């Protein structure tokens, strides 16, 4: 009995966590699996009692379904977190001020080398973000042209735009700090 109640608590906690951490753009992608979870759990809510026969197969079936959905949610969140971590690197300034004065030509050369290096990093991160999005697609297996998947891709695009914007703002802020005169 204690094992059964412990397993049921784990299942309920996972189920509640899944529903609480899914964003509105992610929920439709897993809607069919959530409905499958709900239908698997329904007998436990409606008909089964603590002394009903065959509780263990019910718990195992529910646990398997909830674990599968939990793994998908964790994969989606892990991929998004990896994308956001990559985009954090974009916040490094595109201009570095050296401690000693340089002629303008040297400053331009140093700046161009830094910009080329950062652009290459951003391109590489873009490819990695694309791979992570493809990984999410392969795990969820939605219809590529479905509105739910297109919305999710738009969500990821908005994260990338936000990352680029924050990178630009960081560079502009650094530059403003470097040229501001304080008395």
- What DSSP line would sit under 3-59, residue for residue? HHHHHHHHHHHHHHHHHHH--TTTGGGGHHHHHHHHHHHHHHHHT--TT-TTHHHHH
Q: Provide the mean pLDDT of the chain.
A: 88
DSSP state of 144: T
Mean pLDDT of 1-5: 80
> Residues 3, 12, 137, CA angle at the centre, nearest 5°?
120
Helix (H, G, I), strand (E, B) or coil at 1: coil
Mean pLDDT of 25-54: 85
What pLDDT is recorded for position 79?
Answer: 96
What pLDDT is recorded for position 50?
Answer: 66
- Counting every residue written for the chain, the total comes to 183
Mean pLDDT of 115-132: 92
What pLDDT is recorded for position 64?
Answer: 93
Mean pLDDT of 8-30: 92
Q: How far apart are CA 74 and CA 60, in angstroms?
A: 21
What pLDDT is recorded for position 23?
Answer: 93
């Amino acid at each position: 009995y204690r094992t059964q109640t412990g397993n049921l608590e784990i299942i309920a906690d996972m189920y509640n966590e899944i529903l609480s951490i899914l964003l509105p753009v992610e929920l439709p992608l897993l809607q069919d699996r959530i409905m499958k979870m709900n239908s698997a759990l329904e007998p436990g809510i409606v008909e089964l009692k603590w002394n009903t026969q065959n509780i263990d197969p019910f718990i195992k079936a529910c646990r398997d379904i909830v674990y599968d959905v939990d793994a998908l949610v964790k994969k989606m969140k892990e991929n998004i977190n990896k994308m956001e971590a990559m985009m954090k690197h974009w916040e490094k300034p595109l201009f570095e001020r050296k401690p000693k004065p340089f002629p303008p030509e040297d400053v331009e050369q140093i700046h161009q080398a830094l910009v080329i290096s950062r652009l290459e990093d951003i391109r590489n991160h873009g490819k990695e973000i694309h791979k992570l999005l493809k990984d999410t697609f392969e795990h969820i297996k939605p219809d590529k042209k479905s509105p739910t998947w297109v919305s999710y891709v738009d969500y990821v695009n908005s994260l990338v735009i936000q990352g680029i914007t924050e990178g630009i703002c960081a560079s502009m802020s650094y530059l403003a700090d470097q040229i501001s005169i304080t008395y």
